[in-house]
Each structure stands twice: as C-alpha cells, then as structure tokens.
Structure 1
Amino acid sequence: MGIGTGDLAGVRHAVDDGIQLALHGVDHTARPTWKLNETVEFYRDVLGLPLVHAITARGWGPPGHHDFLHFFFDAGKGATIAFFYYIGSERPEKYTPEGHHFYFATHTAWAVDSEEELASWKETLEKRGIQVSPYTRHEILESIYFTDPNGYPVEITRRLRETQEIDEVDARLTMQAAMEVESEARAASRLMDDIDAVWRRKAKLVDIYKKEDAK
C-alpha cells in the first residue's frame, strides 16, 4: 500500500493525544500528465494561469522511476496547480478517463466572486473552443464544468452564500449518520443500501440534537 492508504486501525485521534494541529489553506494540487504541450498551453494560454515554477529531476525513489518534469501554475491566493510529466513513459490504463461519473469526482474548482464573472468565464471559454457545461446550482454554489486536455475535470464556481453555524451542525449530523450506516453495512458484509438509510438515521440524530439543545 502507498503512503496514507488503508484503514485507520490503530490510528490515534486528536482527542486521544491532546495535540491540535492546524492547516492554513491548500498549497497545491498535483496530477500526472502525458500531454506536456497541451497541458502547458491549456493552463497558461487558455485559462491564463502564470507558469511560476518547474522542477526537472532524474528519477526519484525506487529503481526504474522515470525522470520527470514537475511544473506549477499560479492558481490564485498563494496556491498552485501542478503536474508531473514522466519522461519516456506512457499513460497506464488506470489513468484513462472512463467516461463514468465516478471519474468526475476528482476535480479542481476555482472561485469567482460574482454571477457576471462566472458568465464571462463560460462565454469566453466557449469562444476559445472549450465545451462548457450548463450552469449547475448545488446548494451554496453555482458552477460550470469542463475538462483539460488530460481529461481532468475543472470547475469554476461562485458562492451563493457563506456557510453558517446551522450548516456545520447539519454536516456533522449528516456525516455521523452516514458513517454509522456504513459501519453497520460493513459489519454485515454488504454495501450501504441507499441515501434513504442515511436520511432515516439522520432524522433520529436530529431529534436527539433538538432535545439536547433544548436543555
């Protein structure tokens, strides 16, 4: 298994050791590419992200590791989006876009501040030959989607409102319900049935929360 993979058996939580750590925003995301020219031209020339750093290296790590280029584009607010180009390699089958909605769960989303900005991005990208999705509203966001030359999904989104305390409470109860239902399904050697099972469990947790909050 790779670093950080597998289950959490034996892993200690923050409440166990009393140590509270903090993260301060995303520094960068990184993905492999086998389309060097197209990737640089898309992010630098189509999206207009400055190319700000590049690492060239002979293979690191285990024997047989390919030489590579690791290059970074300014993604805004101090963050970057980066790519690895492994010299002399071909794309493994597992990295080929499958045309399935599972594949589109892994994506990068950039923020804009207004409806006008989002519309401008959609219109401009379409004029530049990029196929862009219709506007999609999902609770607190409105977004457009498209893919880069590697098939990686890209999102541009605007906040419809900021999250509030009630959103945090809702998220906590939602995920607690989902985790309980998943644990029970695993214990029975089956998959979680459907979202209704989560909603039913959440309803019970909401009742408990209301009673505790009323005290």
Structure 2
Amino acid sequence: MGVGRGDLTGVRHASEDGVKLSLNGVDHTARPTWKLNETVEFYRDILGLPLVHAISARGWGPPGHHDFLHFFFEAGNGATIAFFYYIGSERPERYVPEEHHFYFATHTAWAVETEAELIEWKETLERRGIKVSPYTKHEILESIYFTDPNGYPVEVTRRLRETEQIDEVDAALTMQAAMEVETESRASGRLMPDIDTVWRRKARLVSDYKAGPQ
C-alpha cells in the first residue's frame, strides 16, 4: 500500500486547516514472519495470547504478491498483534535479526500495572525457556526484554509514575531543540553532532520559556 514518506514539504499542518483528528488507541501492529509454527506457538502457547482472527487470501495488489495468511492475537484493551505469512516466500536478507540498537528500536511493549505482575512475567517466561533481560528502569518505566522466534524484540513494562504537565513541557522543549539542530545540520550537509548540542539548545529554550512571552 503506497503512502507518503519522508519529506513533508507542502503538507498542511493541523493548525492550518482547523480540523482536529483523534485516535482511539492502537488497533493492531503487524509484521512478517517466515516461522509460522514457532510464531503461533510462541504468542498463543508461551505468552498465552488468544488467537482471535485469521485471514487467508490469494495474492492481491501488484503482480508477484504472494498468497498469504494474516493472523491476529489478542494483545489487551481491544488491541491485537498480527503477522503476515507469505506462502512460498523466503526471508529476505533485510529481515534477518541484528544485534544492533537500530534493529532493537522497533519493538512491541506490553503494559502491566504492578511490580508483582512484572516479576511474575519474568519468572514465568524463564521457566518456559525464554531468555529474559534483567529488570531495567528508564525514566518513568521499568521493563524486561526478550525476543520472539523471529528475532523481534518484545518488552513488558510497568509505569513507575504517570506523566504530568511538566513532562509535556519538557518533551516539547526537547524535541524543538532537537528539530532545530537537525534542520541546521542538514542545511550545512552534516549529521547532528551529539546530544550535548541538543542540550545546549534546549537550555536556551528553557530559559526563554521561564522568561515568558516577550
């Protein structure tokens, strides 16, 4: 399915057309798999997610589209996690898992509410033969990490606290600083140099924010 990517030049912002869009949570995420049995057994039997829907179809769309299975597991709060199995295809090199933070940046994270639940997940998964990371605290979350049979990273996390207005302000200033630095770096044909450059720019924005409207 073709969608616009990359440069947003010429695209209208929400503030320009007066239309306020809203979303009602994530319906599903989807990824390809070339390990049909292992994927079903992992999500259904190891993680205990109910298999709730499956689509089977001849190839559609452009020529050469494989016949496929598209199957969904319940993921909580009305959401599902889904996979495509393209019949008769072999996994391209680009989908081979890598031991690199670029690869692990794309992951699925499920929420639990309490520390006891997080502990139960870690201990149960380990008893079921899954290698699970140590408990990791980062900012407002505590998480455990593991991978599914495809090598896709999976996270189970609990909130240590809810976000507040100060978090939203901080996020806005952080990202404004980073976007400004990226724009300037691109204009000069360079990559963004380091996080310190962003922090210095953010410090100026924080100072301006505290000073209020001029």
**TM-score clears 0.5:** yes
Q: Which deviations, in whole Å up to 9, do the C-alpha atoms of 1:50-78 show, x marking residues without a partner?
A: 00000001101100100000000000000
Q: Which residue of 2 aligns with 1:9?
A: 9
Specify the alignment match of 1:148 in structure 2: 148
The separation in 2 between residues aligned to 1:2 and 1:200, in whole angstroms, is 39
* Length, aligned pairs only: 214
- What is the match of residue 162 of structure 2? 162
Deviation at 1:45, TM superposition (A): 0.1
Aligned to 1:85: 85
Unpaired runs of 5+ residues, structure 2, are: none
- Greater Cα shift, 45-54 or 1-10: 1-10
Tell me how large the CA RMSD over aligned residues is: 1.2
Give % identity. 81
- Write out per-residue CA displacement over residues 74-120 of structure 1, whole angstroms, 9 at most, x where no aligned residue: 00000000000000000000011121111000000000010010001
The separation in 1 between residues aligned to 2:6 and 2:176, in whole angstroms, is: 21
Q: Is 1:181 paired with 2:154? A: no
Partners of 2:85 and 2:61 in 1: CA distance:
16
Residue 2 of structure 1 deviates from its aligned partner by: 4.3
With normalisation by structure 2, the TM-score equals 0.98
Work out the CA distance in 2 between the residues paired with 1:88 and 1:9.
40
The answer to whether 1:45 aligns with 2:45 is yes
SS at match of 1:71: strand
Partner of 1:100: 100
* Runs of 4 or more above 6 Å deviation: none
| Matched AA of 2:205 | L
For 1:118, the aligned partner's letter is L
In structure 1, stretches of 5+ residues that fail to align are none
TM-score (norm 1): 0.98
Partner of 1:203: 203
